[in-house]
Structure 1
């Protein structure tokens, strides 16, 4: 039985040319677990729904998130499901319990559920080279592809680049030896999808519908916009709350093309770990320390068989994020306590409230998740400064940043975060912010790396090269640093050759 409780309206401001006040309608859908509709229970605590919703709405207004779909799991049951905000910023249509959000990279977990069923059925071997199931023309140019196994794909250590367009757009590259280190790869999941089709001799979309959607009763999950045109979907938004055209994939895109709700995804996650659908051996495969993440997180973070796994002294937590243009998703789930949270947003800023949402609800120990990230979690000065930009423009934001500097309240990544954002919005503002940060924190590498990225965007490859060299000297851990250095070197060589040939032509005249 569902208990519906429509909470009071909350004010929400949408910033366009002027500030327009609109009512923020929220609708609470709480599953009956012997709980009062005034609160939900998690970790032995009662969480007041009214106060929880009020805080979520306040964060949405501060950060600039138009809509959210959120579910809390307790003892492998949905304890709380709630939707917030609007499908599109500045428009009156509210998000409700059936509104779809892009699952982004959480789409991969639907395949995961299929894969482990096939392993339990002895139809797929996680350690058998995938070419023995299906030769893959896109990777045949590199003999190392014959070493790649399904386990490597699930643990993101196959070496296959994330997308073909990342480095050399003409070739799908293997950028590290298979099994050697973490390289996140959407392309790897698409290869594995082709293997699954080959094993079962039917289209991937039909397999997913039969083995996942129908089996778990996921009625608001769609794999494409080809045969069925799902209605009631949210629109994505950039960092300034500007609408991004909706991606309506006409074919199945296993690594990131699912549209769903937090409620449906919660049921997928429960099905993954409740022991009804997958054997204990498969759950152990998920938790297996397949790939070290020491370059990205503090110790005890690994990528297991489909999820990031965080090992703490008292818990084992799985995590996964998702990022599509205009959408951000995040989940955290305690395997020990059978407790977790999933939320989906229609904003490029959606992940910034992750820590606060966890603290307000399931209280899992996830602080190490954000230790090396340069986007600061809510609340932060970067969030406040960006809000000032949306309200009053770049000069007002710069002025406030100057005040914070004088008060010694600018953290090492505050201006980095803003600089990274403004590389795609206003390059003059981005350069001012990042240059200031190199002065404030001359021994930190990230501002130099981001300046190099900005210089590359403006095709000043000499300046970019110098910035990247400085970042490397300061022990930058940016994954694309060496690639960017090589690209700058090639571009500078081209310019030298062109300059030399032009000089020769001039002298011959």
Structure 2
């Protein structure tokens, strides 16, 4: 990709004067940080990116870089939306735990007792609870591709990443509140988004999102899929940008009862598990991956939708972290770039 994709004028007019602190307290200027990110974007062939950094519980850096649409020469701005992919899951987990604190759902009651599943053929699913869903220990596959599902493991026995389990839990929440997947986002806005001061943070497509959504790319080719974007999708359907998602993370780090639940490991990953090997994940909590970096314990989630990649990591003890969204497919290398800069 040509390095001229981002005019220098945009770089220096958008760059804030404030400095960013790394985990160890080292200071880096916003301009220097931006330049390093742009170099990484060029190397990783990323058309556009939204990135934010959190220091001491406050957003100290947020920026849109590159192109939201290459052909139209449409730049990424702070208001550009991206598909959050699996970064949807922690945002949904926070929602479920908030409702659990209000008595709407019991985290350890089998979901079957609330709402029987119609798409699972294995009777063992009747043991699945909300806690298992959020920690990925249901035994369900990630996606069923429409076929009736069989469990890959006994519920609660081992880590098994599953988007299908999250969808089932969303249906249960909707049922308990007399809603459907078409209307559940309204409850999310009431219980989470408005409480956190999030103006544009939706699990369904809205006209505003559609008009400002970054075009997805795979190897610089436009991508598209035919998902129903008007159904609440807790596993990968959130639309956001780095600034708004960083606000959510700041809000999360202030909500001590829920945060404590989300930080407590539920299941340790097997030593040879692919997610441990690729991303350094030791364990999973209710909604977050537990990752050690330079002798620190941190909480991470990444995600890939067709044409999009996203990632965040936070250290609640220091209220420190980052979040980024890109419109490049499978751009997982950017995670390591951010952590090499910030976890020093």
Which residue matches 1:162? Answer: 142
Contact 1:321 1:329 in 2 (8 A): yes
Distance 1:217 1:283 in 2: 18
Q: Larger helix proportion, structure 1 or 2?
A: 1
CA shift, 1:99, in A, is 0.3
Distance 1:52 1:29 in 2: 9
1:255 is the counterpart of 2:235 = yes
Q: Which residue of 2 aligns with 1:242?
A: 221
Cα deviation code 1:237-290 (max 9, x no counterpart): 11x211113767132222111111111111111222213xx52xx323212221
Structure 2: gaps of 5 or more residues = none
Distance 1:263 1:362, change over 3 A: farther
- TM-aligned CA deviation for residue 159 of structure 1: 0.6
In angstroms, what is the RMSD of aligned CA positions? 2.2
Structure with more contact order per residue of length (Cα contacts < 8 Å, sep ≥ 6) = 2
**Residue 353 of structure 1: CA displacement?**
2.1
Q: 1:125 aligns with which of 76, 90, 106?
A: 106
Partner of 1:422: none
SS in 1 for 2:75: coil
Match in the other structure for 1:13: 2
Q: How does 1:452-463 map to 2 (within 5 A)?
A: none
**Corresponding residue to 1:285 among 216, 240, 261:** 261
TM-score under structure 1 length normalisation: 0.61
* Structure 1 stretches of at least 4 aligned residues deviating more than 6 Å after TM superposition: none
Paired position in structure 2 for 1:201: 178
* 1:349-373 Cα deviation digits (max 9, x unpaired): 422122122222243xxxxxxxxxx
CA–CA distance in 2 between the matches of 1:301 and 1:194? 30
- In structure 2, the partner of 1:441 is none
Q: How does 1:148-187 map to 2 (within 5 A)?
A: 148-165=128-145, 169-187=146-164
Aligned counterpart, 1:270:
250
Q: Within the alignment, does 1:344 sit opposite 2:325 as a pair?
A: yes
The corresponding residue for 2:29 is 48
C-alpha distance in structure 2 between counterparts of 1:235 and 1:314, whole Å? 38
Matched, 1:220 2:215: no
Shift of 1:344: 0.6
> Residues 135, 76 of structure 1: CA spacing in aligned structure 2 closer, same or farther, 3 A cutoff?
same
Structure 1 gap segments, 5+ residues each: 1-11, 15-20, 31-36, 364-509
Q: What is the correspondence of 1:137-156 to structure 2 with a 5 Å cutoff?
A: 137-139=118-120, 141-156=121-136
TM-score (norm 2): 0.89
